[in-house]
Amino acid sequence: MLTKLFWCFIYFIKYIIVGLIISGIVGAFFPPAGAILGVIMLIGAFGASWKDAGEKMAVIAHNRLVKESEFEIEGFDQALRQTLRSMR
Amino acid sequence: MPIPLIIPILTGLGGLVAGALSRQPEINRLKEQVKVLQSEIGRLQGVIKEQQRQIEEFKIRYNALKASNFIEKKRILGITKGFLYLQYAFKEYVELSIVQARGKDLSGNELRFFNIFNYLMSEQELPVEEKLFVAEYVSYIYKYQIDNLLPLNDDDQAALIHRVETADVN
């Protein structure tokens, strides 16, 4: 859970920076529109960063599983090669 | 009233017949495969014995390693489990081939396992995820044997060989 919160925070910062830049540019020309856009992007940043963090966690879990099963896969491949050789 | 019922019944029956006919080439192929296994039962026995010998060898190597050599110990344990996954997967594959050759359907996971293992047996390379599914499927069925590093015993081997020999696929 802590890892997910960490990644959520990282993605949140990313979305906030992007939001600040876009709403800053829009706000320079149309101040009210820039403020509205900024608020919308701030609200959207929560959901988007939570979703991205979830996807990141799935990738981390998958990589961990592959890493943990590294030797088992090595043994499986070795046994498969031997089985195929003896079946020829 | 009976007329509107006839149409869905006929459509359903037609679907069943079409489904059975579309599977027929695959069933015939599996029947041939089982016949090959039956004609080469000695080789099948040899394959299983060789797998067992390798597993026993890895177990001896694992037990001979000192606790301080934990990285190598972990590696040998992983490889031994990999050999066990293959042996039990092979057993399941042979059994599912017989089941399918008799024209029976497999469940979703059984079919996925069978298709993946069929690919592997035809010497095609598959991504790690598919191999992990095979390991997961096998360890779900043979959890006790794999956790305790137990290869197929003589009775299981004899039962498998007997099942192949007596499979009626004509």
Give A26-63 pLDDT, tens digit per residue: 999 999 999 999 999 999 999 999 999 999 999 998 88
Is A66's pLDDT higher than 80?
Answer: yes
Q: Which residues of A touch B125 (CB under 8 A)?
A: none
Q: What distance in Å separates residue B170's CA from the closest CA in chain A?
A: 24
The confidence score (pLDDT) of residue B25 equals 74
Q: Which residues of A touch B128 (CB under 8 A)?
A: 66, 69, 73
Is A2's pLDDT higher than 90?
Answer: no
CB contact under 8 A, B123 and A76: no
Rounded to an integer, the average pLDDT of B102-116 is: 87
ipTM here: 0.75
The confidence score (pLDDT) of residue A48 equals 94
Q: Could you say which of B50, B81, B128 has the minimum Cβ distance to residue A66? A: B128
The confidence score (pLDDT) of residue A16 equals 94
Q: Is B46 on the interface with A (CB under 8 A)?
A: yes
Q: Is A85 on the interface with B (CB under 8 A)?
A: no
The confidence score (pLDDT) of residue B144 equals 93
Rounded to an integer, the average pLDDT of B89-107 is: 86
Residue B33 confidence class, pLDDT cut points 50, 70, 90: confident
Is B4's pLDDT higher than 80?
Answer: no
Query: For a pLDDT cut of 70, what percent of chain B falls above it?
Result: 85
**pLDDT tens profile B126-138:** 888 888 999 999 9
Is B161's pLDDT higher than 60?
Answer: yes
The confidence score (pLDDT) of residue B17 equals 61
Q: Is A80 on the interface with B (CB under 8 A)?
A: yes
The confidence score (pLDDT) of residue B154 equals 83
What would the DSSP string read from start to end of chain B? -HHHHHHHHHHHHHHHHHHHHHHHHHHHHHHHHHHHHHHTHHHHHHHHHHHHHHHHHHHHHHHHS-TT-HHHHHHHHHHHHHHHHHHHHHHHHHHHHHHHHTTPPPPHHHHHHHHHHHHHHTT----HHHHHHHHHHHHHHSHHHHHTT----HHHHHHHHHHHHH----
Q: Which of residues 130-159 of B touch A (CB under 8 A)?
A: 131-132, 134-135
A-to-B residue pairs, Cβ atoms closer than 8 angstroms: 77
Joined together, the tokens standing for residue B151 give 């290869």
Rounded to an integer, the average pLDDT of B65-77 is: 86
Q: Which of residues 30-49 of A touch B (CB under 8 A)?
A: none
